[in-house]
Amino acid sequence: MTFFDIFQQHEWETTQASIYAKTAADVERTLAKQGKRDLEDFKALISPAAQPYLEQMAVLSRQLTQKRFGKTLQLYIPLYLSNECTNSCVYCGFRHENETTRITLNEAQTLREATVIQQMGFEHLLLVTGEHPRQNGPDYLKKMLKLLRPMFAQISLEVAPMKTEEYQSLVDEGAYAVYVYQETYNAGRYAGYHPRGKKANMQFRLETGDRCGEAGMRKIGLGCLLGLEDWRTDSFFTALHLNYLEKRWWQSRFSVSFPRIRPFEGSFEPNSIVTDADLLQLICAYRIFNEEVEIALSTRERPAFRDNLVQLGVTTMSAGSRTDPGGYTENNKELEQFAISDDRDPETFTTMVRSKGYEVVWKDWDMCLQTR
Amino acid sequence: MEPLIIQGREFSSRLFTGSGKFSSNQVMEEAVLASQSELVTVALKRIDMHNENDDMIAHLKHPHLHLLPNTSGVRTAKEAIFAAQLAREALGTNWLKLEIHPDPKYLLADGEETLAACRELAKDGFIVLPYIQADPVLCKKLEDAGAAAVMPLGAPIGTNMGLQTRDFLRIIIEQSTVPVVVDAGIGAPSHAAEAMELGADAVLVNTAIAVSENPVAMAHAFRLAVEAGRIAYEARLAPRLDKADASSPLTSFLYNL
């Protein structure tokens, strides 16, 4: 069994209708509930009926987050290794059809980038690539992990989905986590967003979490791209996915992220607008639904928004990010996957976090804990 | 109050503390000092073992404070042993809080792997304090495997739910020949006092102090509660009676015969 089997038991339209049918009484019952909340509770929390309860949700979310994670915020930084991509995702700056310079960093270039990152104080690194099996596939990533492993405490990947054996080989080289966002769980619309390339295979993508779990990946990151389809319905499916994976791959930990569509090269306009209040509601809903899941928020979001979310459910943030390969040594805006909204340097960012009464955690892993 | 002795080392405080989840390392240091704890557990994953100026370690440098490195994050005995050996070398202590929880959600210990690792590490000269379920049989097996103390949970880590395992803790305390440290789940000073009254040798508290509004004051409160509970235990609590003394004693007929 994989998530695909679970997925097929849920239809988009009826799921959507059931979320929008939730009432104030459902929300109140969920908020008053003792013990763990379930998927029906999650529907109530993300429903329009919960909007008037946002303050209560925020209070609860903060309390639950502090209990589990303390007054701390973990920091990571992405390292974009390659923008070469054979996919045609209509919303992405790296899409194959975009006529831009294509770069895949070699070892020397990667080391230069990594050194700059290290000097900023980062211990948790996220490697990012497009999907180009020849240029940035498993063999390339293995090489990069070998190179970077001695320099960082934790290395995670946001790269193209792979086979289980390929993931296993990356775990052996020190990979800690894989982030794979489904983008949308709307089967009727998925093909329209991903017309060509390997990513057009929706089932293979839906089963990625299962393959990561089987390979022994320590953390699996989920999410959908907010702005494609109705965010409530897509988020329900993400929660369904999370719920299934947690039970099936019980030795992995999980994280959810909330990429909201931002302007980029190629100007894709979001189909569904996710407001700041919506995103806050969603983050609080996740925390109330799942007390243990890690919640990440990237520099796609504006400083004023991020600053306030430090206390409300988010556990992990990036800072000082560049989304163009080579960007830490020489920023090239043309090559960016998306524009950064929060361009504060790590020092300014950590000062802000501390001013909120939170400790910045640079290191929460050690390569010595994952023996080969 | 009798001192606590673990593997020949004497502790005048029976409150062990954790170093995670605090709003800053400065607050952590102040809270640890206020607790008068002499043993502080530190997650290997949170510190840079090879950096002498690691900020967390720097805040724990006090003559009365001993570090108890923990292996939080490992999933198997093999991983735990490897990490423990590196920690011993880098930190210069053979004390170890052995934590093997392959389940990242509730962080519940894997008894089988913990027992295997404890056996190896004790043989290798480590002073092993294993974190485990409140399982009386496992505790006896860990003793046999060379554990210096056992650390059964009151409730899952970070839950603040108190002594949910009370009846099993009672059995563990009754049977143990090594110190019993109730770890995890202690959410209020009253829980800590209760554990001490039951006869636990010590308790370990982290979340309840770190996440409170005032960690320094809360650390102080826990110190008092642990002392009160221990003194009460040593003074031997008066028995708890189900009802007041029977007004017509069952044996009074003897005098009327």
Domain boundaries, chain A: 3-369
**Could you report the per-residue pLDDT of A79-92, keeping only the tens digit for each?**
999 999 988 888 88
What is the spatial distance between Cα A228 and Cα A187, in angstroms, rounded to a whole number?
12
Probe site for chain A from B17, B19, B23, B88 (most A CB atoms < 10 A): B23
Grade residue B245 by pLDDT with cuts at 50, 70 and 90.
Answer: low
Q: For A157-211, give the secondary structure using H, E and C.
A: EECCCCCHHHHHHHHHCCEEEEECCCECCCHHHHHHHCCCCHHHCHHHHHCHHHH
For B21-73, list the strands marked E by DSSP.
Answer: 39-43, 66-70
Tokens (6 digits) for B19 = 């170093």
Whether CATH 3.20.20.70 fits A3-369: yes
With 60 as the cut, is the pLDDT of residue B4 above it? yes
Q: Which of B21, B71, B83 sits opposite A71 (nearest CB)?
A: B21
Beta carbons of A250 and B103 less than 8 Å apart: yes
pLDDT of res. A96: 84
ipTM of this complex prediction, to 2 decimal places: 0.76
Does residue B204 register a pLDDT over 80? yes
Options 3.40.120.10, 3.40.50.300, 3.20.20.70, 3.30.200.20; CATH for B4-256 is 3.20.20.70
Percentage of chain A exceeding pLDDT 70: 98
- Which candidate, A202, A370, A123, places its Cα nearest to that of B46? A123
Please state the pTM of the whole predicted model. 0.88
- pLDDT of residue A192 exceeding 80, the answer is yes
A76, A145, B105 from A252: Cα distances, Å = 19, 20, 9
Q: Band the pLDDT of A271: cuts 50, 70, 90.
A: confident
Whose tokens are 């990533």? That residue is: A141
Residue A366 to residue B160, Cβ atoms within 8 A? no
Distance from CA of A22 to the nearest CA of B (A): 29
Contacts of A67 in chain B (CB under 8 A): 158-160, 207, 211
Of B21, B44, B47, which has the smallest distance from its Cβ to A369's Cβ?
B44
Residues 6 or more apart whose CB falls under 8 angstroms from that of B39 comprise: B11, B13, B16, B17, B65, B66, B68
Per-residue pLDDT of A25-54, as tens digits, reads: 999 999 999 889 999 999 999 999 999 999
Burial of A251 (0-12, 13-18, 19+ CB in 10 A): middle
* Sheet-wide strand order for B151-152: B151-152, B127-132, B95-98, B66-70, B39-43, B15-18, B202-205, B181-183
Average pLDDT along chain A:
93
B97 is catalytic: yes
Q: What is the largest CA-CA distance in chain B?
A: 85
- The predicted structure's pLDDT at residue A372: 62
CB contact under 8 A, A369 and B73: yes
Measured CA to CA, the distance from residue A214 to residue A163 in angstroms comes to: 10
CA distance A209 to A212: 5
pLDDT at B238: 79
Which residue shows structure tokens 């966002």? Answer: A181
Query: Which of B105, B113, B186 would you mutate first to test chain A, the one with the most A CBs within 10 A?
Result: B105
A267 pLDDT exceeds 70?
no
Q: What local confidence, expressed as pLDDT, does residue B31 receive?
A: 96
Residue A71 three-state SS? coil
